């Protein structure tokens, strides 16, 4: 739900804001150390990206490797290999030289997921990844995220799309400024539980 604080939660996980209370640990490490270890991958919301930016898909994925490179970020053979592998895994190898905005909504998301793959991120954050994405691409992305989770990555998705939830996630958190409920998607989606979040909206 808008204004529930999920963007702020993501920012806290990435260490962009300091939580007023509590601590954030990623695999037991504070966010700064997790970032330096290249553990945190981030897939931005569509409206936060300048799609006219003159970069090719391959260039965007390559920025996932910057943390492994020297201070001029000159790509090495290993970096090119990781990028090619990531592009292959999300099925964008043929479109690697397209300008990033010349992709469809679903392909754009996959490009950013590929960046997280090239980075080898073990915690992947996706902010509303299914907004403006057609059903088929959504299924492709869901399958991809499932694979990543099966490989041991922690994939965190913020979404309004309740219908897609059971197929997407093993665990769901109902969130309204604080964690209301943390359970299986089926449990969270029961009407009386959803009312916890949506019913509160009407209250002052």
Partner 1 sequence: MTVLDPLLEPLSFEFMRTALAVTLMAGVVCGVLSCWLVLVGWSLMGDAVSHAVLPGVVLAYVVGAPFALGALLFGLLAVTLIGAVRDTSRVKEDAAIGVVFTTLFALGLVLISVTPSQTDLNHILFGNLLGVSRADLVQVLVLGAVALAVVVLKRRDLTLFAFDPVHAHAIGLSPRRLGALLLGLLALTVVVALQAVGVVLVVALLITPGATAHLLTDRFSRMLWIAPLVAAGSGVVGLYASYYLDTSSGGTVVVTLGLAFALAYLLSPRHGLVATRFASARRRRLTRV
CB of 16 to partner 1, least distance (A): 6
CB of 21 to partner 1, least distance (A): 22
Question: Residues near 139 by Cβ (< 8 Å), separated by ≥ 6?
Answer: none
List the one residue out of 84, 90, 44, 46 whose CA is nearest residue 65. Answer: 84
Q: Is 16 in the site for partner 1 (CB under 8 A)?
A: yes
Q: Which of 8, 29, 66, 103 binds partner 1 (CB under 8 A)?
A: 66
Among 43-51, 103-111, 151-159, 162-170, the segment contacting partner 1 (CB under 8 A): 43-51
Distance CA 172, CA 170 (A): 7
Q: Is 55 in the site for partner 1 (CB under 8 A)?
A: yes
Among 34-42, 78-86, 157-165, 176-184, the segment contacting partner 1 (CB under 8 A): 34-42
Q: Which of 20, 47, 48, 94 binds partner 1 (CB under 8 A)?
A: 48
Question: Residues near 150 by Cβ (< 8 Å), separated by ≥ 6?
Answer: none
SS3 content of the chain, % helix, strand, coil (to 5): 50, 15, 40
CA distances from 35 to 8, 62, 65 (A): 17, 17, 13
Neighbours of 50 (CB within 10 A): 9
Of the pair 66, 175, the CB lying nearest partner 1 is at: 66
Q: Is 41 in the site for partner 1 (CB under 8 A)?
A: yes
Q: Is 38 in the site for partner 1 (CB under 8 A)?
A: yes
Q: Is 2 in the site for partner 1 (CB under 8 A)?
A: no
CB of 106 to partner 1, least distance (A): 19
Structure tokens given for 94: 């043929």
Do you know the residue count of the chain?
A: 204
Site residues, partner 1 (CB under 8 A)? 14-16, 32, 35-36, 38, 40-42, 44, 48-50, 52-56, 59-60, 63-64, 66-67, 71-74, 99, 102, 115, 119
């Amino acid at each position: 739900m808008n204004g529930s604080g999920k963007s702020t939660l993501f920012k806290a996980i990435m260490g962009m804001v300091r939580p007023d209370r509590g601590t954030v640990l990623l695999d037991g490490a504070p966010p700064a150390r997790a970032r330096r270890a290249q553990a945190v991958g981030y897939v931005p919301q569509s409206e936060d990206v300048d799609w006219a930016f003159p970069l090719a898909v391959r260039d965007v994925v390559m920025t996932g490797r910057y943390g492994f490179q020297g201070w001029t970020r000159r790509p090495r053979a290993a970096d090119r290999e990781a990028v090619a592998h990531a592009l292959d895994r999300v099925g964008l190898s043929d479109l690697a030289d397209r300008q990033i905005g010349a992709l469809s909504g679903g392909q754009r998301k996959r490009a950013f997921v590929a960046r997280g793959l090239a980075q080898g991120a073990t915690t992947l954050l996706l902010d509303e990844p299914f907004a403006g994405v057609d059903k088929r691409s959504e299924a492709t992305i869901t399958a991809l995220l499932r694979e990543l989770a099966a490989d041991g990555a922690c994939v965190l998705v913020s979404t309004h799309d309740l219908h897609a939830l059971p197929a997407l996630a093993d665990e769901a958190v109902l969130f309204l400024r604080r964690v209301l409920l943390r359970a299986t998607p089926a449990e969270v989606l029961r009407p009386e539980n959803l009312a916890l979040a949506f019913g509160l909206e009407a209250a002052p």
